[in-house]
Structure 1
């Protein structure tokens, strides 16, 4: 099998056929496009999400923390705690493991999140360090969960910050020599700093009462995220290619590495659908969050408008970043 997430249709079938026992406390479990499970316990709801980091060797702890907290943030919940699993190859040093844990702890403290458990192991089952985090958030039982599947026809589609932030930071950290062929040292440092923009917790809290859906843009890039919203909501989309925010550094690197920036892992950017785009943009910009309207939700078709030519968007395959690890 090829590296990367399972194709959406295979994953959907596996999830539908393997759900274990049904529990009345579970409001909704994870599904294609829905990264969080929500459980009702008394006067509160618990929101849970889990993800590993497999496509990075630098800033692994930093990335692992934020990609999971981001998923919780998309529901409108407030993060509470995380559980951390580290699988380190035999050649790892204690200093390397400590560095990852230090990164996670620093980000957790800064975001008022507690590390409440986990597992750490050195094993010959992996050839590079794998970090998996489970994030837990809470919300009042009467508060509405923002589901990915809540997108409605004619909603405007907003993207926060810029696409490819995580992918760009991986390219300049893991493939430095090749990246330096097209970037100068100042650009290299700027690209590495993209990893410090990976949180979407702020925009999640700002838009939780306005958004019809929110979705963190991770593996598969913006086109993968749009497809996941399509699957969850049963709707289509029409997106303007020229409206997609991609920084020049990301464009340079993607051209040089021959990868599609629209299918590049993009943690740090949130996909939001709203009825009132002007109000959402004002709220975000008033709080210094960059945001762009890129299109709208439609009835069925999934289309990208490239200079007046409508191109159908296919189901996502694996993220472009994995091409570089084959």
Structure 2
């Protein structure tokens, strides 16, 4: 098997279909396109999500916190707690573990999320530091936003720009090589994209406005996230290529590595669907908070297409992320 997350059909057949025991307290179970599990705790629901950082060699402590907290935010929930597991190869220096924890602690504090537990281990099972994080949030049951809520006629919005996280990872991990080809200003700007990776502010705003669905754009990029959201909601979509924001740094780095920015891991970018009547309000509230946002498409009954002029390209189920073509 190739590096990257399992393709959709393999995931369904050998993972999801093997989960056979269900409890009545579980409101949202594992499914294609769903970012979080949701458990009934009476008036409130507990929202949980877990993710590892495997595609980056630098800033893994910071990324681990953001990635899991972003999943919680995609449910319109503010995360409150975090569990961290750090697996490091034999020979790892104490200073490397310290750096990961300093990054994680600083990032969690900035998000007002407490690190409430976890595990740290040196093991021959890995060849570089791997950090896995589980985030926890709490929300009233009737306020939880799911990936499966998109409705025909909804506008599709995205925040920030496509390929955001992947751009930062590549800039950090291939810094000297890229500086020689693209220049220091481009690479320094690309590295600063790591500061935009949290989607907690937009998740909270979207929850307040009342969006129909949200999906954090992670591995598989914007096109993968769109397909997953549509699959969860059993709908189609028209995504307008010319309306999709892509930062110039992303375009240059992706061109250098000959990869597609629309299929590049994009944490920091949130995909949302909303009733047309609420579209203006949502855009205004996002922009008031300094969060760039754009309407990039609409939900339709069937067919998932990337549209440019008169050309329609079918959006396929996500395969391995473009990042793995480089690393």
Distance 1:44 1:159, change over 3 A: same
Alpha-carbon offset, residue 85 of structure 1: 0.4
Determine helix, strand or coil for the equivalent of 1:181. helix
Corresponding position of 1:146: 145
Unaligned runs of 5+ in 2: none
Corresponding position of 2:137: 137
1:166-205 to 2 correspondences below 5 Å: 166-205=165-204
Corresponding position of 1:269: 269
Equivalent pairs counted in the alignment come to 324
1:215-234 to 2 correspondences below 5 Å: 215-234=215-234
Structure 2 CA distance for aligned equivalents of residues 129 and 12 of structure 1: 29
Q: 2:220 matched to 1:235?
A: no
After the TM superposition, list the runs of 4 or more consecutive aligned residues in structure 1 that deviate by more than 3 angstroms: none
Structure 2 CA distance for aligned equivalents of residues 152 and 54 of structure 1: 34
Determine helix, strand or coil for the equivalent of 1:180. helix
Corresponding position of 2:316: 314
Structure 2 CA distance for aligned equivalents of residues 237 and 298 of structure 1: 5
Alpha-carbon offset, residue 66 of structure 1: 0.5
Structure 2 CA distance for aligned equivalents of residues 77 and 38 of structure 1: 11
1:2-151 to 2 correspondences below 5 Å: 2-141=2-141, 143-151=142-150
Alpha-carbon offset, residue 125 of structure 1: 0.7
* TM score, norm. by length of structure 2: 0.97
Alpha-carbon offset, residue 9 of structure 1: 1.1
Q: Note if contact 1:182-1:252 (Cα within 8 Å) is conserved in structure 2.
A: no
Corresponding position of 1:246: 246
Determine helix, strand or coil for the equivalent of 1:255. helix
Structure 2 CA distance for aligned equivalents of residues 307 and 248 of structure 1: 22
Alpha-carbon offset, residue 73 of structure 1: 0.5
Q: 2:297 matched to 1:295?
A: yes
Q: Which moved more, 1:189-198 or 1:299-308?
A: 299-308
Structure 1 CA distance for aligned equivalents of residues 24 and 194 of structure 2: 39
Structure 1 CA distance for aligned equivalents of residues 152 and 43 of structure 2: 33
Corresponding position of 2:280: 278
Alpha-carbon offset, residue 228 of structure 1: 0.4
Structure 2 CA distance for aligned equivalents of residues 239 and 111 of structure 1: 32
Q: Which moved more, 1:308-317 or 1:217-226?
A: 308-317
Determine helix, strand or coil for the equivalent of 1:104. helix
Q: Note if contact 1:182-1:253 (Cα within 8 Å) is conserved in structure 2.
A: no
Deviation string 1:168-197 (CA, Å, 9 cap, x unpaired) is 111111112331233221221111110010
* TM score, norm. by length of structure 1: 0.97
Deviation string 1:42-97 (CA, Å, 9 cap, x unpaired) is 33210000000000011101111001000000111221100000000112111111
Determine helix, strand or coil for the equivalent of 1:182. helix
Determine helix, strand or coil for the equivalent of 1:48. strand
Determine helix, strand or coil for the equivalent of 1:283. helix
Corresponding position of 1:164: 163
Determine helix, strand or coil for the equivalent of 2:48. strand
Corresponding position of 2:326: 324
Deviation string 1:106-130 (CA, Å, 9 cap, x unpaired) is 1111222111111100111111110
